Amino acid sequence: MIEVWSWPTPNGHKVHIALEELGLTWRVVPVNIGQGEQFSAEFLAITPNHRIPAIVDSDGPGGQPIALFESGAILIYLAEKAGKLIPSDPRLRYACLQWVMFQMGGVGPMFGQYNHFAAYAPEKLPYAIERYSNEVKRLHRVLEKRLAASEYLAGPEYSIADIATFPWIRNPDRRGIDLTAYPAVKRWHDAIAARPAVERGVATLADRQRRGTITDVERENLFGTRQFATR
Ligand SMILES: N[C@@H](CCC(=O)N[C@@H](CS)C(=O)NCC(=O)O)C(=O)O
């Protein structure tokens, strides 16, 4: 059994989707990050980084339990465990890992900073909003170029590179993006969104999704002194 400590955010959805695609047995342990549950002793024992997602697989390598954090590492682990969604041909495998790293080091952090400055920062800072908006658009252009030449990010087959990236491309209006300006990304997005496993993955904890203006408690946990306390 794989326990997924998670919340309905793009990084959480990557893992929910991968588990549904791979058909592994799993259960979700909700970690309400707005309410500060990521700082609990139980969760910190799994990940010192107090960020979702993290997993505990009771049947890890050698039949022993394993705990993992960082969604990219989790996707690689799950794909290798199941022997699916990661190419075995070395060239395609490195292409897959390259696009997973591109998502982890580029798409996730830049889109996240855009969300922060555009939606959550108490002060609207034009320089920061413009900088991250430019990065969001630039990264869409990189994806467009790749997906105009290749069916999926790693090559002809759907892989964890697509699963890592898709949750950050859905809901494009949240980032001021019109996907019709990126036709190859749109073709890829629509094909992935229609997969039943993806529909199930993004439905995980959907009833717990935060809506409306950020509250003072959420701000304190995510961006305030509680977030930055020494632990
Ligand atoms: N690089 C990490 C990023 C994880 C991350 O930022 N998770 C966010 C939700 S998407 C989180 O747990 N935030 C809680 C917090 O900031 O305290 C990964 O991909 O796993």
pLDDT digits (tens, 9 = 90+) for 134-149: 999 999 999 999 999 9
Specify the domain boundaries for CATH 1.20.1050.10 within the chain: 90-194
**How close is the Cα of 120 to the center of ligand 1, in Å?**
16
Q: Which residue has the tokens 């979702």?
A: 52
For ligand 1, whether the C-beta of 165 sits within 6 Å is: no
pLDDT digits (tens, 9 = 90+) for 175-215: 999 999 999 999 999 999 999 999 999 999 999 998 889 99
The atom of ligand 1 lying closest to the CA of 54 is: 20
- Half-sphere exposure for 96 (CA within 13 Å, toward CB): 24
**How close is the Cα of 118 to the center of ligand 1, in Å?**
18
For ligand 1, whether the C-beta of 71 sits within 6 Å is: yes
The atom of ligand 1 lying closest to the CA of 10 is: 10
pLDDT digits (tens, 9 = 90+) for 86-137: 999 999 999 999 999 999 999 999 999 999 999 999 999 999 999 999 999 9
**How close is the Cα of 32 to the center of ligand 1, in Å?**
12
- Half-sphere exposure for 122 (CA within 13 Å, toward CB): 7
Q: What pTM does this model have? A: 0.98
**How close is the Cα of 93 to the center of ligand 1, in Å?**
26
Torsion sign (Cα): 15, 17, 21, 24: positive
For ligand 1, whether the C-beta of 11 sits within 6 Å is: yes
**How close is the Cα of 52 to the center of ligand 1, in Å?**
5
Domain 2-84+211-228: give its CATH architecture: 3-Layer(aba) Sandwich (3.40)
Specify the domain boundaries for CATH 3.40.30.10 within the chain: 2-84+211-228
Domain 90-194: give its CATH architecture: Up-down Bundle (1.20)
